[in-house]
Structure 1
Amino acid sequence: MNWFTKTFSSTVGRKIVMSITGLFLCSFLVVHLIGNLQLFKDDGGEAFNIYSHFMATNPIIRTMEIVLVLGFLFHIYDAIVLTRKNKAARPIGYADSRPQENSTWSSRNMGLLGTVILVFLIIHLWNFFVPARFGGLDGVVIENVEYDNLYLKVVQSFDIWWYVAIYVISMVALAYHLIHGFQSAFQSLGLDHKKYTPFIQKFGYAFSVIVCAGFAVIPLYFFFLK
Structure 2
Amino acid sequence: MSEFKQTFNSSLGKKLIMALTGLFLCTFLIVHLGGNLLLFRNDDGYGFNVYANFLTHFPPIEVIAYLLYLSILVHAIYALVLTIKNRKARPVAYATVNKAPATWSSKNMGLLGSILFLFIVIHMSDFWFNYKYSDKIGYKEYRTNVKTDETTAVDYVPESPKFEKSVTTEGDYEVVRVKDLHARVASSFSNLIYVIFYVIAMGAVSFHLVHGFQSAFRTLGWVHRKYTPIVYFIGTWLFAVIIPLGFAAMPIVYYIQSLK
**TM-score of the superposition, structure 1-length normalised?**
0.92
Q: Which residue of 1 aligns with 2:220?
A: 189
Amino acid at match of 1:161: L
> Percent identity at matched positions?
43
Q: Which residue of 2 aligns with 1:68?
A: 68
**Structure 1 CA distance for aligned equivalents of residues 242 and 80 of structure 2:** 28
Secondary structure, counterpart of 1:142 in structure 2: strand
Which of these two proteins has the greater Rg computed from alpha carbons? Answer: 2
Per-residue CA deviation, residues 130-174 of structure 1 (Å, 9 max, x unaligned), is 111113211111243321100000110100000000000000001
Q: Which residue of 2 aligns with 1:150?
A: 181
Secondary structure, counterpart of 1:190 in structure 2: coil
Shift of 1:85: 1.1
- The runs of 5 or more residues in structure 2 that have no matched partner are 91-99, 144-174
**Structure 2 CA distance for aligned equivalents of residues 48 and 195 of structure 1:** 40
Secondary structure, counterpart of 2:17 in structure 1: helix
**Structure 1 CA distance for aligned equivalents of residues 229 and 65 of structure 2:** 33
Secondary structure, counterpart of 2:177 in structure 1: strand
Amino acid at match of 2:177: E
Out of 236, 243, 247, the position equivalent to 1:215 is 247
| Bigger fraction of residues in helix | 1
Secondary structure, counterpart of 2:53 in structure 1: helix
Shift of 1:198: 2.2
Q: Which residue of 2 aligns with 1:42?
A: 42
Q: Which residue of 2 aligns with 1:124?
A: 123
Pick which of 127-136 and 215-224 moved more: 127-136
Secondary structure, counterpart of 2:190 in structure 1: coil
**Structure 2 CA distance for aligned equivalents of residues 206 and 149 of structure 1:** 33
**Structure 2 CA distance for aligned equivalents of residues 68 and 121 of structure 1:** 12
Amino acid at match of 2:247: F
**Structure 2 CA distance for aligned equivalents of residues 4 and 142 of structure 1:** 54
Secondary structure, counterpart of 1:102 in structure 2: coil
Per-residue CA deviation, residues 87-145 of structure 1 (Å, 9 max, x unaligned), is 0115xxxxxxxxxx931000000000000001111110111011111132111112433
Q: Which residue of 2 aligns with 1:31?
A: 31
**Structure 2 CA distance for aligned equivalents of residues 51 and 198 of structure 1:** 35
Moved over 6 A (4+): none
Per-residue CA deviation, residues 28-64 of structure 1 (Å, 9 max, x unaligned), is 0011100001101101111111111111111111111
**Structure 1 CA distance for aligned equivalents of residues 101 and 216 of structure 2:** 19
Amino acid at match of 1:139: Y
| Bigger fraction of residues in strand | 2
Q: Which residue of 1 aligns with 2:109?
A: 110
**Structure 2 CA distance for aligned equivalents of residues 45 and 179 of structure 1:** 32
Residue 199 (structure 2) pairs with residue 173 (structure 1) = no
Secondary structure, counterpart of 2:42 in structure 1: coil
Matched positions, count: 217
Out of 158, 163, 180, the position equivalent to 2:194 is 163
Amino acid at match of 2:119: F
**Structure 1 CA distance for aligned equivalents of residues 29 and 221 of structure 2:** 24
**TM-score of the superposition, structure 2-length normalised?**
0.81
- The runs of 5 or more residues in structure 1 that have no matched partner are 91-100
Shift of 1:192: 1.6
Q: Which residue of 1 aligns with 2:172?
A: none
Describe how 1:60-99 pairs up with structure 2 within 5 A: 60-89=60-89
Q: Which residue of 2 aligns with 1:58?
A: 58
Q: Which residue of 2 aligns with 1:199?
A: 230
**Structure 2 CA distance for aligned equivalents of residues 102 and 64 of structure 1:** 37
Shift of 1:196: 2.1
**Structure 1 CA distance for aligned equivalents of residues 17 and 197 of structure 2:** 29
Shift of 1:84: 1.1
